[in-house]
A and B are shown apart, each in its own frame.
Chain A
Amino acid sequence: MTRPPDSLVEDAMRALADLALDATAPVSTSDLGVEELLLVRAAGFRPLGLVLGCRVVHAKRRQAGRWADSRELGTLTTAISLAREEAMGHLQDEAARLGADGVVGVRLRVEGLGRGGWGPDQAEVTALGTAVVASPAAAVPEGGWRQPAGRPFTSALSGQDFWALLQAAHQPLGLVLGSCVQHVGPRDPGTVLAALGRNVELPAYTRLLYDARELALQRMQTEARGLAADGVVGVRLRQGGDSWGGDSWGAHTWEFLAVGTAVRGWHRTEQPPAPQLVLGLDDRQRG
């Protein structure tokens, strides 16, 4: 089966045949996917390299206080929040050393506590993202791309969302999060007896869910305020979290975590694009 030569693939193959090795050429790595990479470039940014930060924390899950009481485990909240903060800080430092304006596609994960090789009581916090620099030709928001403190911005948004956010005349400022590690006590004998054989609400637990979520969200908002943000997009509220479960204590120790990206609007003359109706040919289910 022979077909007429194609100018696109002709150009590509000629480039491939003429490739020259250059030991000093600048090389960028990223953990962006194909579409993400193209969209980040289309948004006027150039990836500089993969940046990361890791912290391993020992968590003492048995805390002082009555086991039967439901309450926040302050030490654990502080320790895990600090570890996340430090991992993010290291990621930002690496990005700053590369001369980046920000880090996109940041993934912040907590793993361990019973799984993985660090032992049953250790949690590993990993932050991974792609450092990017704005091209000189691109429009710059009034305050610049960096955070108010002069550090590179961080964004938990995918390349697609990053592009869409910029199109909507907003800039990402930082990945913000709020956490609350909560001990969920058992029901007291009174409620157990009262609910015997009946289908009833357990109001104490309902209230606990409200309180813990509210705490996590508030803490996230406080972080966003510190960055002088207008709002937070892409907030994900995670509850429980597999990383805290896994043993007999885990069922009673829950983490409520809110993660989002703080954004600020800026004046742009162009109009945001009108959404279009498209027929996607990418069948993600089958790959």
Chain B
Amino acid sequence: MTGADRPWTSNLSVAEFAALQSVGLDPVGQVLGSAVWLFAWSGRRACGSPGYTSTGYGGSRRRLGPPRTMRGLVDTMYAARRAALQRMQDDAAALDADGVVAARLAVRPFPAAGQHGLGLLAPGSTQRALEFSVVGTAVRARSVSRPARPFVCDLSGQDTATMLSAGWVPTGMVMGVGAVVAHDGYAVARMTRRWGATREVPRYSQLAELSRTQARTQLEQDVRRHAGQTAVVASIRVDVHEQQCSNAGGEGRDHLVETVIVGTSLAPFRRSDGHRGPTAVLPVLRLRPPAATGQQPEALLADPLLTTPTREPSR
């Protein structure tokens, strides 16, 4: 927080700060948005298993339905993140800022709320609480025009500056969530036994693909909602959970695939100074030690003999 007489705070590195200054954005303060949400979803009858029948587990020998979307979970996961972002945006608006850069969205379990599990949908747990928080730096533009609401982006200071000088303005943080569940059923249970023959498990493939496709579709809609034309994706996170099926009389397994894509939507604008933006160069020598570039020789990392000597094939 900052006042007229107090220095501003920020989570920016010096290079980020310098980059933002170069495009006319001044930091006004570090802003935060937080939301703790309870997920009391039980998953009952969600997986589409035919349920327990008089023939026992064999009941699920019957034709299983296609993987199902967990609408409730998708909506809550989206709404919780959106709430945290909204609060950060309000915070920035209160500082009279024009935008928030370098926003970092984090999700943590919140065990103090009662029954909890680290895995979001760990079997056996009926409810859990998660903390969604986002931290960023509010910036004010050296401009006469002002957006109606401060924009939010998860780009670093350098990336924001690069995009602005290339004629793209961030319009907001966008998300896509996909959560799909399917009952394994008899056929899949047979196929995935340890001694089962090597082959594709089509039901799992379908599940994995569907979850990502859903998240992608929602991301696209979100970009459109933010009046953007393209998006830069910061992270794609996919979690696969196995859980005891609560529908087939406690027998069998369900698999749930959850995908969360987070990024920033961007809209093009015309530069009135006619400048074409940054130029691409082919650097022959980066004046920076190799360790600082974050690019280590891949072969060295992937070589188990060098990284984990215990895995030498001799005994």
Which of A's residues lie within 8 Å of B, judged by CB? 1, 3-17, 19-23, 25-35, 37-39, 42, 47, 49-50, 52-60, 62, 75-76, 79, 82-83, 86, 90, 116-122, 124, 126, 128, 163-164, 167, 184-187, 202, 205, 236-241, 245, 251-252, 254, 273-287
The answer to the question of B169 belonging to the interface, with a C-beta cut-off of 8 Å to chain A, is yes
- Structural contact, A39 and B230, CB atoms closer than 8 A: no
- Report the 10 A-B pairs with minimum CB-CB distance, sorted nearest first: A6-B24, A117-B240, A15-B269, A275-B284, A56-B204, A9-B24, A240-B304, A54-B208, A14-B145, A284-B294
Q: Is the interface of B mostly helix, strand, loop or mixed?
A: mixed
Q: With a 10 A CB-CB cut-off, give which of A9, A23, A75, A274 has the most chain B CB atoms.
A: A9
Name 12 A/B residue pairs within 8 A (Cβ), A-sorted. A5-B24, A7-B271, A9-B23, A22-B224, A28-B230, A34-B162, A117-B240, A164-B282, A252-B313, A277-B284, A280-B287, A281-B18
Determine the chain A residues whose CB is within 8 A of the CB of B270 once the complex forms. Answer: 11, 15
Which of B's residues lie within 8 Å of A, judged by CB? 13, 15, 18-19, 23-26, 98, 141-148, 151, 155-156, 158-159, 162-166, 169, 171, 191-192, 194-201, 204-205, 207-209, 212-213, 216, 219-220, 223-225, 227-233, 236, 238-242, 255-257, 263, 267, 269-273, 275, 277-278, 280-288, 291-294, 298-299, 302-305, 311, 313-315
Determine the chain A residues whose CB is within 8 A of the CB of B286 once the complex forms. Answer: 278, 280
Cβ-closest chain A residue relative to B273: A7
Q: A6, A16, A275: which contacts B171 (Cβ < 8 A)?
A: A16
- Structural contact, B200 and A58, CB atoms closer than 8 A: yes
Determine the chain A residues whose CB is within 8 A of the CB of B255 once the complex forms. Answer: 117-118
Q: Is the interface of A mostly helix, strand, loop or mixed?
A: mixed
How far apart are the CA atoms of A82 and B143 in the complex, in Å? 56
How far apart are the CA atoms of A197 and B12 in the complex, in Å? 57
- Structural contact, A56 and B200, CB atoms closer than 8 A: yes
Instruction: Report the minimum CB–CB distance from B244 to chain A (whole Å).
Output: 13
Q: With a 10 A CB-CB cut-off, give which of B145, B146, B287 has the most chain A CB atoms.
A: B145
Q: With a 10 A CB-CB cut-off, give which of A19, A27, A28 has the most chain B CB atoms.
A: A27
- A236 with B299, Cβ < 8 A, contacts A11-B269, A32-B232, A187-B314 known: yes
- Structural contact, B283 and A278, CB atoms closer than 8 A: yes
- Structural contact, A34 and B159, CB atoms closer than 8 A: yes
Cβ-closest chain A residue relative to B119: A117
How far apart are the CA atoms of A21 and B270 in the complex, in Å? 18
Q: B165, B207, B230, B287: which contacts A8 (Cβ < 8 A)?
A: B165
- Structural contact, A29 and B209, CB atoms closer than 8 A: no
Instruction: Report the minimum CB–CB distance from B100 to chain A (whole Å).
Output: 13
How far apart are the CA atoms of A76 and B200 in the complex, in Å? 11
- Structural contact, B212 and A54, CB atoms closer than 8 A: yes
- With A27-B230, A52-B216, A54-B212 given, can you name 17 additional A-B contacts, CB distance below 8 Å? A8-B164, A13-B146, A14-B269, A19-B147, A31-B233, A35-B159, A52-B213, A58-B191, A118-B204, A202-B314, A236-B299, A240-B302, A241-B302, A254-B304, A281-B18, A283-B13, A286-B13
Q: A20, A29, A42: which contacts B219 (Cβ < 8 A)?
A: A29
- A57 with B200, Cβ < 8 A, contacts A27-B229, A38-B162 known: yes
Cβ-closest chain B residue relative to A163: B280
- Structural contact, A57 and B209, CB atoms closer than 8 A: no
How far apart are the CA atoms of A15 and B233 in the complex, in Å? 22
How far apart are the CA atoms of A16 and B144 in the complex, in Å? 12
